[in-house]
Structure 1
Amino acid sequence: MKLYFICSDFFNYDKSIKKELERIGYDVELITDYSMGNLILYFQGIIKKKFENLDGDNIVFIIKGETLSKTALNNIFNKTKRVCIYQWDALKNNCNSKCLLKYSEFITSFDPVDTCKYKLRYKALFHQMESFNQHSDREKNVGASFIGTVHEDRLKQLIEIETYLKKEGVSFFFYKYYPSKLIFFLRKIIDTRLWGVNTKDVFFKPLEYSKYKEIIANSISVIDFPRKAQSGYTMRTIESLASNTKVITTAEYLEDKFVGINPDKLALAKMAIHRG
């Protein structure tokens, strides 16, 4: 059966999900969701061409769908109702949420607050089983690590933590990523939270996925700063727990709402979380 899979290129998850869908019998066509600058227009052209032969027997699986236009969504739903839209980010962080919510009966979300507010189905986040579990028993030699996108107040907080770890003599690895150098420089001008931040502290290319897995597996603890708009736990959290790595997080919901996790790991998660 033909399945069209629309997803951004996120730490190889798009390819891993495609591989798993193919393993269970689907004929999968992966369509990469571009979300930066003029690539959006390019993406709309791809969508129009890809779905020329879409019919009611086909399935369309969309993760986030941030750059799917109203026209593209209408085109999909006019041809098939076999559509699944999964949100692995809070809808407040999706600039296309207004268009997507018109099809709310087809949306599943990782975010407990969004599921209640918009009457969506809930589905917990996931991780690549083969990528992390195989490293869960290895010796760990990095005291604390952070690998993630810089947003809101996160950068200054991380720099403060780095200063503290250096003072205490704790080994660490921080990879502070921002997807666009131009937009980051513009934000530095208008966002007072970024004034005084050294651009050398930020990377503009994503860390290679193999390196990311290695760092998570080698870390005693991983630092987690969920975005304020989301209540669902981060991918970083579940990947860390799968690697038997502790999570130091600012999230306040985990102990009460850590849903979708194996009960054996729930205790580990509670013991691993420290606030302060």
Structure 2
Amino acid sequence: MANRSMPPTNPPPNSRRPNPIPPIGQGAPKGMNMPMSDARAKTVLREAVDAVVNSFAKHTHGYGRVNVVEALQEFWQMKQSRGAELKNGALVVYESQPSQSPPYVCYVTLPGGSCFGSFQHCPTKAEARRSAAKIALMNSVFNEHPSRKISDEFIEKAVGDAMVTFKGSQDETDNPATGIGAFRFMLEHNKGKTMLEFQELMTVFQLLHWNGSLKAMRDRNCSRQEVLAHYSNRALDDDMRSQMALDWISREQESVGIIMHELHKSEQELENARLSGRELRFPKEKRDILMLALSQIGPQESMA
């Protein structure tokens, strides 16, 4: 695939401008504020995704129907062969949600850590897998656009958008104790990467902030440089999830019901992000950590 040209870089209507990137500890923006009905928004999203997938097919496999699952895997293998630094290799990972009846839901995690989900009503598990691959392929293609590369200009724009979205002040941008300040610091130390390649590190720090771990580190006088150095090469793995689940079990012992309350919030956030076609690693990880904590409490305690 080394000599194949990339699809055109003019993004479809809903992809012309990246959504504001939230500061650490905040999820994706609650809504896209599109001046159209939900039904119309979903139609536009479907059309945009199909346009990218069809364009990709024309540039790689001729004019026949493209197998999006294979195309997505091939795309990331191509990136790796061209020198992309992928810590865990080019493997694309799918995860189907347990369900006995439609609609079925599937999530796909890309090399670098970004996660997307099936955004359509899927009558079969295979269709859910294809739907997730479609939205992931579209985002992978436009991740190659220069506007998605972390540069000085990108950082200023992303931090400015975060300030507007989360009503921050200019003073926060250089204050490591704030989410926006830490967000800027992380971006500056990852110049040259694309947002999808940066996503896992971003998610780790979002979870640390959400879980209260960053505050605990500051209370122990750990500098942001020390924290970043420690977690920059730390994978978001089962050990980290288990430790965070234990933290939530401790909170549950102090405030009964807090896990269920936080779980309902994260599930709604995840569902909204999935149906809108947005990146959703952070809300999905929150939900998974809380479900792990709940499973370890036991039925009597969880119902108390």
TM over 0.5: no
TM-score if structure 1 supplies the norm length? 0.25
Question: Which is bigger in relative contact order (C-alpha 8 A, separation at least 6)?
Answer: 2
Task: Give me the TM-score of the superposition, normalised by structure 2.
Answer: 0.24
Bigger share in strand: 1
